Structure 1
Amino acid sequence: MIAVVGHANLTPDTLELVETALRERVQSLSKGATGLVRTGAGLPVVFGRVLRDVGRRLVLLLPAQDSVPALVPPGDQVATGELLTLAEQVQLLPYDPLNRNACVSADEHLISTCGRLLAVWDGSPSDGRDATAHLVAYARTRGIPVEVVWPPGAAREEAA
């Protein structure tokens, strides 16, 4: 199982660059390789599309409350709908999608269940909003191979 995490504020042009880079990496994986993402807009959808296009499986983690799928934030609802159509399997994970710390814990769970991590990361440290550096360190301390994906020309949107 291969998981993907990364910055949420990637520019539209960067998402296109990342899609190409992910496609190259996923095509080199065995035919039975499965991808794992936590639902959300941007990177999870790009990864799901790449997996479908190259004939690999997608497992989607959805937030749950009391063993029932939880509502996702309005900005992630369309993406979640698309991911549900791309996924071959959906797993419920208890976490609050509106709580940053709960989302980081969900990503840690995602990482701990995979054998490899693709991190769409510019190398910047974690801050109060973005935990990508933390997730890379989390994977590395557990011996999970991490491949950083940051294509030339990639950029993040400026914080509001």
Structure 2
Amino acid sequence: MIAVVGHPDLTVPTLALLEEELSSRLADRARTGRAGLVRAGKGLPVVFGRAARTAGLALVTVLPTLSGVPAHVAEPDRKAAGELLLLSQMVRLVEYDPGDRASCISADEALARSCARVLAIWDGSPSNGRDATAHLVAYARSHGVDVEVLWPRGAEHRTVPSAEARGVCGLTGRS
């Protein structure tokens, strides 16, 4: 599997740039029979899901569970989760609390370990209290997972307000 991680605050023009770039990169991988893996969320996960569909790559969307029961998807991500489910060939239920950052990061680490490759949409900046991208890149590398960093010319991200970033993390493209 190929997981995608990235900054939670990618601009709309950057997301448009990425959709085209990801479609061409994923087309080569679609022939290998691998699948793409994203946690349900807006922004990068949806762009990755659309690119995977365009490239013919199977998509697996991860949804949270709490005590074995599907967890509530927060309003900002609900519509995106619906689109990803429509694009997906499989859904993977993973035990984590989407409202708890540490729980999200632990889930992301486990998912990254389960993949052959992590595709990181990352400008090389360090992790901070809201963006766990650098942490997930380092974590994947330290566990022998192949990491490919992609930061197209002209890509930008902005600072995410605390309320917007609360409770979300890496594999969704958010921190």
Q: Tell me, what secondary structure is at the counterpart of 2:38?
A: strand
Tell me how far apart the structure 1 counterparts of residues 30 and 88 of structure 2 sit (CA, whole Å): 18
Partner of residue 90, structure 1 = 91
Q: Tell me, what secondary structure is at the counterpart of 1:92?
A: strand
Tell me how far apart the structure 1 counterparts of residues 141 and 55 of structure 2 sit (CA, whole Å): 27
| Aligned length in residues | 160
8 Å Cα contact 1:37/1:110 also seen in 2 = no
Matched, 1:113 2:114: yes
Matched, 1:20 2:20: yes
Partner of residue 2, structure 1 = 2
Q: Deviations over 1:14-54 (max 9, x none)?
A: 00111122112101214212101111111111111111111
TM-score by length of 2: 0.88
TM-score by length of 1: 0.96
Q: Tell me, what secondary structure is at the counterpart of 1:101?
A: helix
Distance 1:98 1:80, change over 3 A: same
Two-structure CA RMSD over aligned residues (Å) = 1.0
Tell me how far apart the structure 2 counterparts of residues 159 and 38 of structure 1 sit (CA, whole Å): 19
Matched, 1:29 2:11: no
Tell me how far apart the structure 1 counterparts of residues 15 and 95 of structure 2 sit (CA, whole Å): 28
Q: Tell me, what secondary structure is at the counterpart of 2:112?
A: helix
Q: Percent identity?
A: 56
Q: Structure 1 unaligned runs (5+)? A: none
Tell me how far apart the structure 1 counterparts of residues 50 and 30 of structure 2 sit (CA, whole Å): 17
Q: Deviations over 1:109-145 (max 9, x none)?
A: 1101100110001100000010000000001001111
Q: Structure 2 unaligned runs (5+)? A: 162-175
Q: Tell me, what secondary structure is at the counterpart of 1:29?
A: helix
Cα deviation, residue 158, structure 1: 2.9
Tell me how far apart the structure 2 counterparts of residues 14 and 94 of structure 1 sit (CA, whole Å): 31
Alignment of 1:101-140 (within 5 A): 101-140=102-141
Tell me how far apart the structure 2 counterparts of residues 143 and 158 of structure 1 sit (CA, whole Å): 31
Matched, 1:53 2:25: no
